[in-house]
Amino acid sequence: MAKGKKKNLYLYGVLLCFIGIIIIFFVDGYLGVYSTVYIKSMEQEQRFEFEIEQEWKPYIFARWGDMISFRYEIDNRSFFSYPATVEVSLWRGEKQVTELFRENVSIRPFDKKTLNWMLDTAKLEQPMGSDANYTLKIIEGKTEQEFIVTVGTVYIEEPPYPKEVPPPAPIPIK
């Protein structure tokens, strides 16, 4: 093989490897259906992506009586439409407490869909003494994600000031 042709073969190989890396990033990393949930509780918003594996179940903290708002985004980055049923329910142990949301969605290729729902903690049992833990399950098609919802007790604090000042002790007159 001529030396010039051999050099060009190596360059073509480099180019093919580079194009292969780009294709893998596009097909495996970009294409697909991606779900993200934004949870707003106690004036803080948390973001969870379903595709990224979590080492432990995410926690949501709230005071009893607060409203927790959820915004669920489904991003369909594929060439086909994506039909699914989104079900959200609250559990305590093995018992379902309530169903929060249920909707059938069909998302067109390269389109997004946003779903919103709320959790009113005032409708739950008021925790007495210690915090109450619930499991929030979000099921989208075949995927399921669980969150731990901790509902804290409401403490009524006494104001520190003004405190009642005791009357001065009478001064003995000699």
Six token digits for residue 131: 């915090």
Q: How far is the CB of 70 from another protein (least distance, A)?
A: 22
Name which of 48 and 64 has its Cβ closer to another protein: 48
Q: How far is the CB of 160 from another protein (least distance, A)?
A: 48
Q: How far is the CB of 12 from another protein (least distance, A)?
A: 9
Assess contact for 41 and 64: CB atoms under 8 A.
Answer: no
Binding positions for another protein, rule: CB under 8 A: 3, 6-7, 10-11, 13-14, 17-18, 20-22, 24-25, 28-30, 32, 34, 51-52
Please state, in angstroms and rounded to a whole number, the distance separating the CA atoms of residues 88 and 135.
Answer: 11
Q: How far is the CB of 71 from another protein (least distance, A)?
A: 21
Closest by CA to 148, choosing from 93, 86, 77, 71, is 93
Name which of 24 and 122 has its Cβ closer to another protein: 24
Name which of 5 and 163 has its Cβ closer to another protein: 5
Closest by CA to 101, choosing from 61, 71, 133, 64, is 71
- The position carrying tokens 């360059």 is 11
